[in-house]
Amino acid sequence: MPIYVCPKCGKVHTVKEFLESRFCRKCGAFLTYSSLIDLNEENSENYLNNSGKSMDFPAKECQEPFLRFFPYSPYPQQFEFMRDAYETLKNAGGVLVVEACNGFGKTVCALAAALSLGHKVIYATRTHEQVRQVLKEIEQINNYASESFSAICLASRRNLCLNEACRRLPPVEAMETCNVLKRTGRCPYRWNLNSLKLDALPNVLSIRKLLKIGRRVGICPYFLAREIAGEVTVIVAPYQYIFNEAIRIRVGLDLEDKILIFDEAHNADKIGQDALSDTLSESGLKNARKELRTLKIQTNGIDELLEYLERTVPNDSQTLVRHGPELKKDLEEALGEDLKELIDSWEPIVDEIRIYKVKMGRVPVCYLNGIVNFLSLLNSENVEKYAAIYRLSKGGFKLIEYRCLDPSLAIKPVIESSYSTLIMSGTLSPLNLFTEIIGLKEIKSKSYSPIADPKKIQTFVDVSVTTRFKERTEEMLKRYGERVWKIISQVPNGILVFFPQKGFMTKAIGIWLKHGFIKKEGRYLTINNKKIYIEGENASDNAKIVDEYKRTAKTEDGAVLFAVFRGRNAEGSNFPYEEANAIILVGLPYADYHDPTVKAQIEYLNRKSPHLGEKWYVMDAFRAANQALGRGIRHKNDWCQFFLLDRRYGTHWKFISRWARESGISPLEEWKRNLNFNFS
């Protein structure tokens, strides 16, 4: 029989008393799972069951260190996750890649495991919503545990700077402008923080709290965050801060002896590649030439680069793709000198330009600095792992995009610099392919069962339709309309429908109107008497549309939201319970195979390993599809029906995340024969 013994005074509490209040009835001390003693340990090994119920832990298992920092009653899958993370992260150099469904509680599980090891933690996130979630869970842990952890959110000047001259600029220009304003005494906010009592600040500091403190005492929140970062237990930072070495050095983000957690890591490869890529543009070169002429400095080098772009970049919609070494050789021949010599000669001029602009009362943006950064990247190692893409910008300017093709260039160095690493997301299937692409073959990876009841997640595939480009006929779209109409007629409340592209969605709506699947009623479109809401063009419009959709979805009338894969509602949005009784995937969101960046990526990976590029191409599409499916499962008691309408889902079913196929994948015909799913 389990009892809870107060660690301070020894008073015994029953399980019922413990669940009613976790404070000792005698002395008021806080009771945790480590306070539990099982008076009958015969069945202590049977703690782990598959019922989906939360767990009461026998004494033996309550000695697991991570449970002291988990502020909820864990489910078996969560306990398994924390145990695996703890066992991996405690070893120097340990790396664990995990896939667990949305709503699993990955954030708090990861924090509990990492904090129990006594190392400082760097938690990499992608969005402000994720930052808020991490800080919220740390506060929950602090309220629960016997010790309190400090945490800070690092962010760009755009989010933390109080000086309007800086915050509206691109990151690099904002940094340089800030440096000039500090040197010339033109920033009203103090960046010397010696007079501030750091120990008087809140333990957990969000962006909002940092801005509030900065305004109140007249100091710079950006530099306040940097100052505090060296002292706190948990640093929450954007991915770019982790992958870009120059940024890490600039903000003092030292990875050594720290546990590194990558959350929502399904896009880690692309974010890392973006951080190591750059662009040389005609407009940037012309602006740099103006800067040099203003200071009466010769424009040698700029003129040659402009002439090279004029000569090599196609004048139409065509693109030219070359290997990185070819670009470097071409530019050195065009310039007539070594890139390093030109970079060294321009770097002092960058400061002159900035100081001059400040004196003239102008924003000290320096275009020459952008050219220096591009040439410095081109002159660095691993040039053979890059592609040069020559094309016109949307504005008609000629440019060369120098694109990193190997995500391991960004990911491996930071993993090797940290103590241990946890990489997690809800959409990493197949795990072995993901780890190979990011350059981490020999590491542990694992996929976990969903905490939701598998019986409440049903997945159906229709192999009679496809959105393959060559088969996008009116007849095929009519067939899609029939299936979508039928599903919506049988599913109550809210339904999400995802399309490969905005243009395809518009075309489908037109054909479905023509054939009567969709009707126009006043200013609204309806399908089977449900009002259709269409994803907004920008964030504010979309937020209003989604709010109205959710309100209507909860009514008896129900509602349908049309959205696009990889769009605003396909990642990071939550549609629990009746807000998404069903999710319909109209086709599979493959990237444009003829896009020069996509082609270069496929060819590069194929050179690394036979057919790796083709596998990446499939994984990239399924990653977007799995993200869309994840919008519908947000909690343990959630439910959703998934309808995957494309034959390629049947061909490549192993690319579907485990939590979406845990209870099997059935043909659409089986759904038609059995329409008694319990939406509750």
Query: Is the link from the previous residue into 430 a cis peptide, with omega within 30 of 0?
Result: yes
Please report which confidence band the pLDDT of residue 176 belongs to, taking 50, 70 and 90 as the band edges: confident
CATH topology match: 278-404 vs 454-673: no
Residue given tokens 């697991």 in the structure block: 64
More confident residue, 39 or 638: 638
Domain boundaries, given as residue ranges, for the chain: 1-63, 278-404, 454-673
What is the spatial distance between Cα 621 and Cα 615, in angstroms, rounded to a whole number? Answer: 10
| pLDDT tens for each residue of 313-322 | 999 888 999 9
Q: Residues near 311 by Cβ (< 8 Å), separated by ≥ 6?
A: none
Q: What is the amino acid identity at position 240?
A: Q
Contact between 169 and 365 under an 8 Å Cβ cutoff? The reply is: yes
Q: Supply 598's token pair.
A: 């996509």
pTM of the model: 0.85
Asked if pLDDT for residue 58 goes beyond 90, the answer is no
Lowest mean pLDDT among 161-170, 456-465, 524-533, 646-655: 161-170
Please give the pLDDT value at position 51: 37
Contact between 410 and 277 under an 8 Å Cβ cutoff? The reply is: no
Residue given tokens 């413990």 in the structure block: 18
Query: Is the link from the previous residue into 238 a cis peptide, with omega within 30 of 0?
Result: no
Please report which confidence band the pLDDT of residue 102 belongs to, taking 50, 70 and 90 as the band edges: confident
Q: Given 3.40.50.170, 1.25.50.10, 3.40.640.10, 3.40.50.300, which CATH number is that of 454-673?
A: 3.40.50.300
Lowest mean pLDDT among 21-35, 65-79, 497-511, 619-633: 21-35
Neighbouring CB atoms inside 10 A of 55's CB total: 18
Sign for the CA dihedral angle at 112, 118, 124, 127 comes to positive
| pLDDT tens for each residue of 359-398 | 887 877 889 999 999 999 999 989 999 999 999 998 889 9
What is the spatial distance between Cα 626 and Cα 624, in angstroms, rounded to a whole number? Answer: 6
Q: β-pairing, 95-99 with 204-205? A: unpaired
Asked if pLDDT for residue 62 goes beyond 80, the answer is no
Q: β-pairing, 204-205 with 151-153? A: parallel
**278-404 adopts what CATH topology?**
Fumarase C; Chain B, domain 1 (1.10.275)
| pLDDT tens for each residue of 491-523 | 999 999 999 999 999 999 999 999 999 999 988
What is the spatial distance between Cα 546 and Cα 536, in angstroms, rounded to a whole number? Answer: 8
Please give the pLDDT value at position 29: 65
What is the spatial distance between Cα 660 and Cα 642, in angstroms, rounded to a whole number? Answer: 8
Quick one: which H or E segment has residue 570?
Answer: none
Please give the pLDDT value at position 217: 85
Please give the pLDDT value at position 449: 87
What burial letters (b/e) apply to 3-15, b meaning 16+ CB within 10 Å?
A: bbbbeeeeeebee
Asked if pLDDT for residue 57 goes beyond 60, the answer is no
Share of the chain above pLDDT 90, in %: 63
Mean of all residue pLDDT scores within the chain = 88
Asked if pLDDT for residue 42 goes beyond 50, the answer is no
Cα Rg of the chain (Å, integer): 28
Please give the pLDDT value at position 530: 96
What is the spatial distance between Cα 594 and Cα 596, in angstroms, rounded to a whole number? Answer: 6
| pLDDT tens for each residue of 179-236 | 888 877 788 887 666 666 766 788 999 999 999 998 888 889 998 998 889 889 999 9
Contact between 26 and 11 under an 8 Å Cβ cutoff? The reply is: yes
Asked if pLDDT for residue 435 goes beyond 90, the answer is yes
Lowest mean pLDDT among 163-177, 259-273, 412-426: 163-177
